[in-house]
């Protein structure tokens, strides 16, 4: 053994059960048992919650940390795509790599050890965003595994040259193909092209979909239809789907069952959705965040993720996934312990299912990607946004955070 994490409590463990020791060898979990009889350097979790590293399923590293260079909002209009597009010509590979690194550092510090990042390509930015993100990924390989989803933010069918760049990125290792049909003059045309690319390059699909304030003109039916037609169930995810949050309960439940049957997963992005929805209102503004717990209970694979950090889509962000789960729970008025547990699952096991990770979780044989949280169980971690005190990537310590010390006068 190379390392033993002593006295860990795992998510879902019986509160009365004795804590467990986790033995690590060659970067993988080699044993899990109470009072493991083995010699190796030790970390004492002291009865704290130890979980598999958090999974960020949807984040934009390439356009993170640009809020300082973007034009301010005009009135109630966010105009996020336009304000980012205005500064994109200034992106260089080095600039993208530096900003992606800054964001990755925060993600790693909050216990994220695996990630899918969306990267946009178009004739304006070319492959500079893609190349910059690849450089940052390489630089952070010691702490986090990152896969790229390449997508057209500024249109595909109406933006000549974009598809060639997506193909170039797919040929150079993008593992997933994405979409943003809401910014295409031909929604269905873009969706069909993206399904064609996924089949040609045998990659999964992860689309920005149905982002809007009303249930009109939803694209989700077509996505379910194509997923079934091409037998891609389990390989298709959609992000946002804020239009679902405007449906009355019976219609939402029917749509949830449809997504579950088709095998289309949903990523909820509470920070961006809360920030951008309801801009058509000037008071009593709607929340616009779809209920991940409800979809989860209908059998939909759901994750909760960060999306944007310090840009016009979301001018905030410390990259704490626990904060996103807490935000989701707060917006959706979640209070039951079981649902708080499910929110934690939407940063961990359910996210692994969405990304089709076969080697994830605290189990013998899996990579020793482990997070020690200053909590005793998952619901407390979500409720209190408890910080990670230690993170291990493939069994090697990648993060240390000292617990707060209070200096009460005597």
Stretch that binds Zn ion, among 69-77, 186-194, 275-283, 302-310 (CB under 5 A): 302-310
Extract the tokens encoding 114. Answer: 């695996």
Instruction: Find where tokens 């990042």 sit.
Output: 117
Subset of 176-195 contacting Zn ion (CB under 5 A): none
Residue corresponding to tokens 């289309």: 264
103 binds Zn ion (CB under 5 A): no
Q: Which of 127, 22, 106 is nearest to 56 (CA)?
A: 106
261: left (phi over 0), alpha (psi -120 to 50) or beta: alpha
Closest CA to 271 of 239, 294, 228, 295: 239
CB 322 within 8 A of CB 53: no
Stretch binding Zn ion (CB under 5 A), from 140-148, 167-175, 186-194, 306-314? 306-314
Where does this chain touch Zn ion (CB under 5 A) — which range of 9-17, 301-309, 341-349, 393-401? 301-309
Nearest residue to Zn ion, scored by beta-carbon proximity: 307
Q: Which residues pair with 116 in a beta bridge?
A: 147
Measure Cα distances from 239 to 221, 243, 303 in Å.
14, 11, 9
Nearer to Zn ion, 206 or 377 (CB): 206
Residue 187 CB, nearest approach to Zn ion (Å): 17
* Cβ neighbours, 10 Å, residue 27: 16
**Residues shown for the chain:** 410
By the 8 A CB rule, do 55 and 357 touch?
yes
- Contact flag: residue 307 with Zn ion (CB under 5 A): yes
Per CB under 5 A, which of residues 15..34 are in contact with Zn ion? none
Least gap, CB of 344 to Zn ion (angstroms): 22
If the CB atoms of residues 29 and 321 are measured against Zn ion, the closer one turns out to be: 321
Beta-carbon contacts of residue 322 (< 8 Å; ≥ 6 apart): 54, 110, 111, 347, 373, 381, 382, 385, 386
Which residue's CB is nearer to Zn ion, number 120 or number 369?
120
Backbone angles phi, psi at 53, to 5 degrees: -50, 145
CA–chain centroid gap for 62, Å, is 15
Least distance CB 240 / Zn ion (angstroms): 7
Q: Which is nearer to Zn ion, 103 or 307 (CB)?
A: 307
To Zn ion, the closest distance from the beta carbon of 153 in angstroms equals 9
Tell me the two tokens of residue 205: 């699909």
Contact window for Zn ion (CB under 5 A) among 93-101, 170-178, 304-312, 399-407: 304-312
Asked if residues 374 and 386 have their Cβ atoms less than 8 Å apart, the reply is: yes
Q: How many residues bind Zn ion (CB under 5 A)?
A: 1
Picking from 233, 271, 263, the residue whose alpha carbon sits closest to that of residue 56 is 271
**Considering beta carbons, is residue 290 or 381 the nearer one to Zn ion?**
290
Of 88-96, 157-165, 248-256, 299-307, the window that binds Zn ion (rule: CB under 5 A) is 299-307
Distance CA(129)–CA(164), nearest Å, equals 15
Distance CA 14, CA 270 (A): 30
Tell the smallest beta-carbon distance from residue 307 to Zn ion (Å).
5
Residues 6+ apart with CB under 8 A from 138: none
Residue 245 or 307: which CB sits closer to Zn ion?
307
Measured from the CB atom, the residue of 308 and 398 that comes closer to Zn ion is 308
Q: What's the closest the beta carbon of residue 320 comes to Zn ion, in angstroms?
A: 18
Kindly tell me which of 293 and 307 has the beta carbon lying closer to Zn ion: 307
CB of 13 to Zn ion, least distance (A): 34
Q: How far apart are CB 308 and Zn ion at their closest, in Å?
A: 7
CB nearer Zn ion, residue 140 or residue 183: 183
Residue with the two structure tokens 């729970």: 329
Distance of closest approach, residue 355 Cβ to Zn ion, in angstroms: 15
Per 3-state DSSP, the chain is made up of helix, strand and coil in percentages (nearest 5) of 35, 25, 40
The stretch near Zn ion (CB under 5 A) out of 127-135, 153-161, 171-179, 305-313 is 305-313
Q: Which is nearer to Zn ion, 307 or 398 (CB)?
A: 307
Single out the segment in contact with Zn ion by CB under 5 A; choices: 12-20, 32-40, 124-132, 307-315: 307-315
Task: Give least dist CB 182 to Zn ion, A.
Answer: 11
Binding footprint of Zn ion on the chain (CB under 5 A): 307
């Amino acid at each position: 053994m190379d390392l033993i994490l002593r006295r860990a409590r795992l998510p879902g463990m019986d509160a009365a059960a004795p804590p467990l020791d986790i033995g690590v060898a060659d970067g993988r979990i080699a044993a899990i048992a109470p009072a493991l009889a083995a010699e190796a350097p030790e970390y004492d979790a002291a009865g704290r919650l130890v979980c598999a590293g958090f999974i960020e399923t949807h984040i934009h590293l390439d356009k993170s940390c640009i809020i300082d260079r973007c034009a301010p909002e005009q009135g109630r209009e966010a105009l996020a795509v336009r304000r980012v597009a205005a500064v994109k010509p200034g992106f260089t590979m080095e600039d993208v790599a530096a900003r992606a690194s800054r964001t990755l550092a925060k993600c790693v510090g909050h216990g994220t050890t695996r990630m899918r990042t969306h990267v946009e390509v178009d004739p304006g930015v070319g492959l500079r965003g893609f190349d910059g993100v690849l450089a940052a990924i390489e630089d952070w390989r010691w702490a986090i595994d990152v896969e790229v989803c390449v997508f057209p933010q500024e249109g595909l069918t109406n933006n000549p040259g974009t598809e060639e760049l997506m193909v170039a990125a797919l040929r150079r290792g993008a593992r997933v193909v994405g979409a943003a049909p809401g910014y295409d003059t031909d929604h269905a045309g873009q969706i069909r092209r993206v399904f064609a690319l996924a089949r040609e390059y045998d990659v999964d699909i992860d689309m920005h979909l149905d982002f809007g304030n009303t249930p009109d003109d939803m694209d989700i039916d077509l996505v379910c239809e194509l997923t079934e037609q091409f037998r891609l169930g389990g390989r298709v995810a959609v992000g946002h789907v804020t239009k679902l949050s405007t449906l009355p309960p019976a219609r939402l439940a029917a749509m949830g069952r449809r997504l579950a049957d088709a095998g289309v997963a949903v990523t909820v992005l509470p920070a961006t959705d809360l920030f951008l929805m309801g801009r058509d209102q000037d008071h009593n503004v709607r929340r616009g965040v779809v209920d991940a717990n409800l979809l989860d209970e209908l059998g939909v694979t759901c994750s909760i993720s960060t999306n944007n950090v310090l840009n016009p889509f979301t001018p905030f962000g410390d990259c704490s996934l626990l904060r996103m789960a807490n935000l989701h729970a707060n917006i959706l008025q979640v209070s039951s312990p079981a649902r708080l547990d499910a929110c934690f699952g939407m940063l961990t096991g359910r996210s692994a299912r969405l990304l089709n990770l076969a080697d994830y979780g605290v189990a013998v044989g899996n990579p020793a990607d482990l997070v020690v949280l200053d909590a005793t169980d998952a619901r407390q971690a979500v409720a209190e946004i408890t910080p990670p005190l230690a993170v291990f990537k493939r069994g090697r310590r990648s993060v240390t955070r000292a617990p707060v010390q209070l200096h009460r006068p005597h």
